Structures are given as C-alpha cells and as structure tokens.
Amino acid sequence: MRNNFHPLVIGSMPDEQQRISEVLAEGVEQPQVLFWQYDQAAVIMGCSQRPDEGQVHRAESVGLPLIRRRSGGGAVFAGPWMLSVTVFIPPEHPLAEQNIIEIFSWLEQIWIDTLTTCSVPCKGVDQAMIDQSKIISQEQDLKWACYASLSHGEIVSNDGRKLVGLAQIRKRKGIALVSGLHLYPCDWGRLSAIVVDDSQQGVALEQLNSDAQSLSGIPVEQLLPDIISTFFDRMPDDFCQKAV
C-alpha cells in the first residue's frame, strides 16, 4: 500500500457531489482517486431526469433526499451498501485523450483485477450483453433505472448481473470517472416506489443486480478495506488519493 493512502471518506451524497464539482471547477492538477461510502440513503437522478412533484412528495414522505447528479444515466439508490469511487484525470493527461469507450475499458480492467483479487467473481461486458440488457430494460419498463441495463466498461457477476456502474463527467479543467459498486444488497423496492410509484418493479431490478458480499461470501467489514487498498494499488503510479 502506498504511503499517501488515506482512509475511506464516509459522508452524504450531496457532500460527495459538491466535492466532485469543486475539484472539477478548481481544475484537476494531478491524477487522484476518491473513495466514498454514503452514510445515509438517497435517491440520485441523472442530470437529464427532472424530478416531478409525485417523486418529490414520495421521497419526502419517507424521509429520503432526492438529488440530481451532474452525470447522465438513470436513477440510483445510494446508501451504505454502495462504494463510490471517483477517478479524477487532468485535461493534459494521456488518458484524457481517450474516447469514452477506451477510458471506460481502462477502468474496467482495474475493477476486474481488483474484485477478482478480493475473491469477488466477475467479468466485463461485451456489445451483445449491452444490447440484450437494453432490450430487457425496455421490455420490463425499467429504462428509468441506472442499474437496469449495461454499458461499456461496467462489471457484472459471472451470470451477468450488474455489479459496478459507471458514469463520466468531462469538463474543460478535468475528467471525473465515477463508479458505483454494490457492496451488499439494497432495497430496490424503495427506489422503484419513489421513482415510478411501483415497488414491484424492485423485484425485477433485484434479479438484474448482484453485490460483492453475496458473490464472495466475505463479510463487507472485511471486504471493503481490501477492495479499496487493492483498487488503489492497481492505479498507475502517478495517481494519489487526497483526503477531503
């Protein structure tokens, strides 16, 4: 483990989003990675999703924050069950010259190496899997959910259930690659109840997703620090982690 390694940050989704925004606004001066675990549950909508009155009311009625993030994609249910990993890349870095598929493929391999080393069986996705996932998402009316379909660079269990989702924020002063790993199962019914007023859609989402603890059989308390340290060790030598 490198000497400049710092502990996991535990905090809220709004605080994490604010930190990402600040880093990109100030300018990414050196490659770095931020590990964040949410201390409370929240529903996060993609930047193109505008919460309506019904969604806002349903979230408020159960005491859950409803937030829009700066990256695209569908709704995500974030909470202590999710590890968020944001990789910041300076605009002049060689990685910044890659297109979205290339840069996600680079991050995909880091995730696969990390998780398999930590006894979490997984694999990447190919175009056929991506296409099939979008068909299933359409047929089950789940296009609103980020973890209902697959995209380039994402990670799945060996039987094809989603494990790590990816998003990108590309600004003039830097790039943020954001990953979300499910550490243990979440309540998909709560997410679907808020977003589409139908908790039963959570059953379909549960079948499409997996988590590191279930796949490895290792308690999350033991698994989480191993994943963080292994991921960081797989990063190129010019990356560091900064405390918030």
| Pairing outcome for strands 9-11 and 174-182 | unpaired
pLDDT at 89 over 90: yes
Mean residue pLDDT across the chain: 92
Pick the CATH number of 9-234 from 3.40.430.10, 3.40.50.620, 1.10.10.60, 3.30.930.10: 3.30.930.10
What the block records as the tokens of 193 is 């109840």
Encode pLDDT of 156-188 as tens digits: 999 999 999 998 999 999 999 999 999 999 999
User: What element of type H or E holds 9?
Assistant: strand 9-11
Top mean pLDDT of 60-69, 211-220, 234-243 is at 211-220
User: pLDDT per residue over 112-144, tens digit each?
Assistant: 999 999 999 999 999 999 999 999 999 999 999
Q: Rounded CA gap, 177 and 33, in Å?
A: 9
Query: Residue 191 has which token pair?
Result: 């997410």
Interval 142-153: pLDDT, tens = 999 999 999 999
pLDDT at 3: 43
The CA-atom distances, in angstroms, between 31 and each of 35, 127, 194 are 14, 29, 37
Of the listed ranges 67-81, 105-119, 137-151, 192-206, the one predicted with least confidence: 67-81
Answer yes or no: is pLDDT of 31 > 90.
yes
Residue 71 contacts residue 170 (beta carbons within 8 Å): no
pLDDT at 117: 98
Give the mean pLDDT of 52-70: 90
